[in-house]
Chain A
Amino acid sequence: MLFFSYFKDLVGQEVTVELKNDLAIRGTLHSVDQYLNIKLENTRVVDQDKFPHMLSVRNCFIRGSVVRYVQLPPDGVDVDLLHDAARREARGA
């Protein structure tokens, strides 16, 4: 649940999602659900010459199970807050 809430706070920010097939998609985070499925708006594929497969796609839904990394904006992470939340969850509170 922690990362679900965390990603919900990131809605509206620009992120890059790297998939498990090496495709990297950049876009504005529109929404996240409990499976960490991600919806992006104004998407563009990072290496369009190599991957022209999504040239006519501007909004997309990425299944949580194929996400390898989510690259976040540097100011999008409050490390202390996340730290505390992670500790609290580990304690089971």
Chain B
Amino acid sequence: MATTTGLESLVDQIISVITNDGRNIVGVLKGFDQATNIILDESHERVFSTKEGVQQLVLGLYIIRGDNIGVIGELDEELDASLDFSKLRAHPLKPVVH
């Protein structure tokens, strides 16, 4: 197949990961394997709530086990910079139910 299905194209890019327990972690993808285990550098968690804007918690270097990963999104930095997170209100994502 000509198109790559893996995460090669996202290495060293900022990605946004949605985990199975509903967390949203943003960081730089440093590595991955076949099981979608990933290494994230300079990561932080974005905590959504309905009462206040999005909180950002600094996490640092993280390894996330593939089993616990739902979605890996390529973060568009321009789009991201244009968002006002202090005004974003939302329920936290639900955990994945298999």
A residues near B (Cβ < 8 Å) are 8, 11, 19-23, 25, 30-33, 37, 39, 43, 50-63, 65-66
Complex interface: chain A residues within 8 A of B4 (CB): 31
Q: Closest approach, in angstroms, between the C-beta of B78 and any C-beta of chain A?
A: 8
The answer to whether B16 and A21 have CB atoms under 8 Å apart is no
Q: Provided the pairs A21-B70, A58-B74, A58-B79 are in contact, do residues A53 and B1 lie with their beta carbons within 8 angstroms? A: no
Contact A57 B70 (CB under 8 A): no
Bound CA span A10–B93, Å: 29
CB distance from B98 to the nearest CB of A (A): 6
**Chain B residues near A (Cβ < 8 Å):** 1, 3-7, 10, 16, 18, 20, 22, 24, 36, 46, 48, 66-67, 69-77, 79-80, 83, 88, 90-91, 93-98
Would you mind naming 5 contact pairs between A and B with Cβ atoms under 8 Å apart?
A20-B97, A21-B18, A21-B70, A23-B18, A23-B93
When distances are taken between beta carbons in the complex, the residues of chain A under 8 Å from B94 are 21-22
Contact B70 A56 (CB under 8 A): no
Q: How far is the CB of B92 from chain A (nearest CB, A)?
A: 9
Asked whether, in the complex, the Cβ of B74 is within 8 Å of the Cβ of A20, the reply is no
Knowing A21-B22, A66-B70, say if A56 contacts B5 (CB, 8 Å).
Answer: no
Inside 8 A of B96's CB, which chain A residues have their CB? Answer: 19-21, 66
